[in-house]
Amino acid sequence: MSEKYSTPTAYLWGVMTTVLGFFTLEQWVAVVGIVCTIATFLINVYYRKKEYKLKERQYENTEKILMATGGSALFLASSMITHFEGLRLKPYFDGGGVLSVCYGHTGNDIKRNRTYTKEDCDKWLDDDLKAVKRYVDSLIKVNINTLTQAALYSFAYNVGVGNFAKSTLLKKLNPNDQKGACDEMKRWVYVDGRKWKGLMTRREIESVICYGDLTHLP
Q: Which residues are catalytic?
A: 85, 94
CA distances from 116 to 64, 97, 105, 106, 110 (A): 29, 20, 12, 13, 10
Q: How far apart are the C-alpha atoms of 124 and 102, rounded to whole Å?
A: 8
- On the 0-12 / 13-18 / 19+ scale of CB atoms within 10 A, 175 is exposed
Look at residue 92 and give its three-state secondary structure.
strand
CA distances from 141 to 30, 137, 172, 181 (A): 57, 8, 11, 13
Q: How many CB atoms lie within 10 A of CB 77?
A: 28
Q: Is 75 left (phi over 0), alpha (psi -120 to 50) or beta?
A: alpha
Q: How far apart are the C-alpha atoms of 1 and 5, rounded to whole Å?
A: 7
DSSP 71: S
